[in-house]
């Protein structure tokens, strides 16, 4: 699949360079990658703020037979961490927080186990906080549930720490608990991301 997507990208660039129609050629390639009655996908090609190609293929819900549309919100996983990090850095730039702040300044009941855990530790994956996704209690059923940021924090906050803050690096999903309202105002609204959704918010079933 990765190879097919790289081929698609190369062909689209070639079509554009040759002055050929991106729509016709990309349609042909995408139709070959995504079957009409199979799991769907969305293709988007943008150049200099101009949308050259935007189209959906396949199904958004195979059980209900609902077709994919370009407006559907796709779960992009840990790419959301970049939005969270950018929003936090922008808030620091505006003097509204400091990366050296203890997280208990924002989550006053967080049991830091006698350690100072900073915002910087969270951003750099050096907090030592147990990753919820690596706990034995993180079951397949829980993965299907919708967690608010507070509920998600409650799920892992009492787990023993892997190491003291700043002593090691270990990739961690806990910092991405969804962008708080203040961060959303700072970053998401100005970017006009109308279809943005919390990473752990499960969209309403398609009807």
Average pLDDT, the chain: 77
Q: Where in the chain is the domain with CATH 3.40.710.10?
A: 77-188
Dihedral (CA of 47, 48, 52, 57) sign: positive
Q: 8-30: buried (b, 16+ CB within 10 Å) or exposed (e) per residue?
A: beebbeebbeeeeebeebbeebb
Mean pLDDT computed over 179-207: 52
Confidence of residue 206 (pLDDT cuts 50, 70, 90): very low
Q: What is d(CA 108, CA 82) in angstroms, rounded to the nearest whole number?
A: 25
pLDDT at 6 over 70: no
% of the chain beyond a pLDDT of 70? 74
* CATH code of the domain made up of 77-188: 3.40.710.10
User: Rg of the chain's alpha carbons, rounded to an integer?
Assistant: 21
Lowest-pLDDT range, 6-15, 42-51, 69-78? Answer: 6-15
Q: What are the two backbone dihedrals, phi and then psi, of residue 157, each rounded to the nearest 5 degrees?
A: -65, -25
* pTM, to two decimals: 0.67
Q: What is the DSSP letter of 59?
A: E
pLDDT exceeds 50 at position 190: yes
Confidence of residue 121 (pLDDT cuts 50, 70, 90): very high
- Most confident range, picked from 41-50, 59-68, 127-136, 150-159: 59-68
Residue 126 pLDDT greater than 90, yes or no: yes
Question: Confidence class of residue 118 from pLDDT cuts 50, 70 and 90?
Answer: very high
Q: Which pLDDT does position 179 carry in this prediction? A: 43
């Amino acid at each position: 699949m990765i190879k097919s997507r790289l081929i698609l990208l190369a062909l689209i660039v070639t079509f554009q360079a040759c002055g050929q129609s991106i729509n016709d050629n990309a349609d042909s390639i995408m139709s070959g990658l995504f079957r009409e009655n199979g799991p769907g996908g969305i293709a988007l090609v943008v150049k200099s703020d101009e949308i050259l190609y935007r189209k959906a293929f396949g199904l958004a819900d195979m059980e209900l037979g609902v077709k994919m549309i370009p407006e559907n919100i796709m779960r992009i996983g840990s790419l959301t961490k970049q939005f969270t990090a950018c929003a936090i850095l922008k808030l620091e730039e505006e003097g509204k927080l400091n990366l050296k702040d203890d997280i208990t300044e924002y989550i006053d009941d967080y049991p830091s186990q006698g350690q100072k855990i900073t915002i910087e530790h969270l951003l750099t994956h050096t907090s030592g906080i147990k990753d919820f996704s690596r706990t034995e209690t993180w079951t397949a059923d829980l993965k299907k549930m919708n967690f608010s940021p507070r509920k998600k924090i409650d799920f892992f906050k009492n787990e023993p720490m892997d190491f003291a803050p700043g002593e090691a690096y270990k990739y961690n999903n806990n910092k991405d608990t969804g962008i708080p309202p203040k961060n959303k105002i700072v970053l998401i609204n100005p970017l006009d991301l109308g279809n943005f959704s919390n990473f752990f918010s499960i969209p309403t079933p398609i009807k």
